[in-house]
Amino acid sequence: MTTSARLTRAAAAAALLVTAALVPTAAAATSGTLPIGDSDLAETRSTQVLAGGVTLTKIVRGTEPAPADQLNTTTRGPWVVNVLTIDPAKAKGHLKATYGPDLAKVENTSVLVKSAGALAGVNASFFTFTANPQYPGDPVGLGIFNGKLLSEPLTDPTEANLLIDAKSNKVVMGHLRWTGSVVNRQTDIKLPLEFVNHPPVVPADCATLPDQTTCTTPGDVVLFTPEFAAATPSGAGVEVVLNRYGCVVRTSTTRGTNLAPGQTSLQATGKDTVSLLNTVANGCLNRTIKLANENGDDVPLRSGLYGVTGRYRLTKNGEIVVPAGTGSFFARNPRTIAGTTRDGKILLATIDGRQTTSVGTTMDETAAVAKALGMDNAINLDGGGSTAMALRDGTLVNHPSGTGGAERAVGDAIVFVPGR
């Protein structure tokens, strides 16, 4: 992997951690209420049943609007929290992750929920967003959809992954690792994969070369699937298209093509263009992709498996584990949380923020809310302007922080689809 490639992928994650002052942790609340803000704050809760085993609870803590210049410091709130609770023992349906027309596009959470025929859902993964306007929906980290790895996990230890088994509605979380490679069946030549469905970077000192095969600086080798976009990324380098059996269909000394159903492609830049061409020279490849959890145990890619990417574990086995940190990411922001209770319930929650009617939470406050809601294990999903919860008809449950409550289009969502 080139240094530029590492920096490019890291930039989207690093953009979340811009330096700013850390907000002090607020005082603990009284028993039975959320442990944020002053202990004397009024708190109300209302719950509606969306379906058997599925409820939606709205929690409002604090009654007076916050001064606009005190959103990050007030201990009076207010806070608005919406919690979707799914009891797999009673609910008829399945939890899954979904994305829009293709992986590289963005779409509103409300549209993703409605188009999936879901009862309700929330935004999920961190995504490229403005870092790459051409492919804004590209996940920054893990993306598994119905057993297909469409985006690999980062090595960044702050990444927290949520795995969903849609067949059993079992949810686990942790940090996954991956390895990927292609091997020529005739020659046994092996070529490691750098990424899955992420535009490769052309080394800066090779950018002006008309033929990347003459470049001596290592580039990237990337696997693309039809789910990525209408066409693969174009530019200098080479691209090899494979059929469903892994055999070469065509080879090009430039990148950018349309993939038919069942086809995949391999793109390479820099010195790695020669390695790719040498590997595929005799025709057919075997592709190997392996996932492992933080304990080193294999995670099989199978039908019904979904995975999304968050940033930081909030709780683990009932204990708060969010790290100390500084920067705007750790200041008060809108938040989206996913977690599980000790008795197996699944909770998806949003906390509105950056508004006088709901100030948002720091990472410490977010973890405290997760634990108070009974999440023994929880992770922080994409938040800020992305935070959204919607119902089956596209109605927004929360109030996003965009101008006038406007939604931000996102890369993917976690949804609960009713049915047997």
Cα 170 to its chain centre, rounded Å, is 18
Instruction: Please state, in angstroms and as integers, the Cα–Cα distance from residue 396 to each residue in 47, 101, 197, 399, following that order.
Output: 16, 21, 31, 7
Tens digit of pLDDT at every position of the chain (420 positions): 444 444 445 455 544 443 333 333 444 444 579 999 999 999 999 999 999 999 999 999 999 999 999 999 999 999 999 999 999 999 999 999 999 999 999 999 999 999 999 999 999 999 999 999 999 999 999 999 999 999 999 999 999 999 999 999 999 999 999 999 999 999 999 999 999 999 999 999 888 887 888 899 999 999 999 999 999 999 999 999 999 999 999 999 999 999 999 999 999 999 999 999 999 988 999 999 999 999 999 999 999 999 999 999 999 999 999 998 888 999 999 999 999 999 999 999 999 999 999 999 999 999 999 999 999 999 999 999 999 999 999 999 999 999 999 999 999 999 999 997
Q: How many CB atoms lie within 10 A of CB 397?
A: 18
The amino acid at residue 183 is V
CA-nearest of 195, 237, 202 to 217 is 202
H or E stretch at 13? helix 3-14
Task: Indicate where the chain has its CATH 2.60.120 domain(s).
Answer: 179-289
For the chain, the distance separating the N- and C-terminal CA atoms, rounded to the nearest angstrom, is 45
Nearest Cα to 336, choosing from 358, 351, 318? Answer: 351
For 159, phi then psi, to 5°, come to: -65, 135
**Residue for token digits 């263009």?**
273
Which stretches of 311-380 are DSSP H helices?
363-372
DSSP code string of 59-119: EEE-SSPPPGGGTTT-SS--EEEEEEEE-TTT--EEEEEEESSSTTS-B-HHHHHHHTT-S
Count the Cβ atoms, other than its own, within 10 Å of residue 150. Answer: 23
Pairwise CA distance, residues 265 & 246, whole Å: 10
| Per-residue DSSP letter, 135 | S
Query: What pLDDT score does 16 carry?
Result: 44
Q: CB atoms < 10 A from the CB of 211, how many?
A: 12
pLDDT of 32 reads: 73
Tell me, what's the pLDDT at 18? 36
CA angle in degrees (0–180, nearest 5) for 118-402-399: 50
Q: What is the DSSP string of 288-316?
A: EEEEE-TTS-B----TTEEEEEEESEEEE
Euclidean distance between CA atoms 5 and 201, whole angstroms: 5
Cβ(313)–Cβ(371) below 8 Å: no
Whether residue 173 contacts residue 163, with contact meaning beta carbons closer than 8 Å, is answered with yes
Per DSSP, 222 falls in state: E
Per-residue pLDDT at 210: 79
Identify the pLDDT of residue 9. 55
Cα 370 to chain center, whole Å?
A: 19
Q: Which residues contact 95 (CB under 8 A, 6 or more apart)?
A: 86, 164, 166, 169, 171, 306, 346, 414, 415, 416, 417
3-class SS at 275? helix
* Both structure tokens of 288: 């190997």
The SS3 of residue 333 is: strand
Query: Domain 179-289, what fold?
Result: Jelly Rolls (2.60.120)
d(CA 124, CA 130): 17
Which pTM does this prediction carry? 0.92
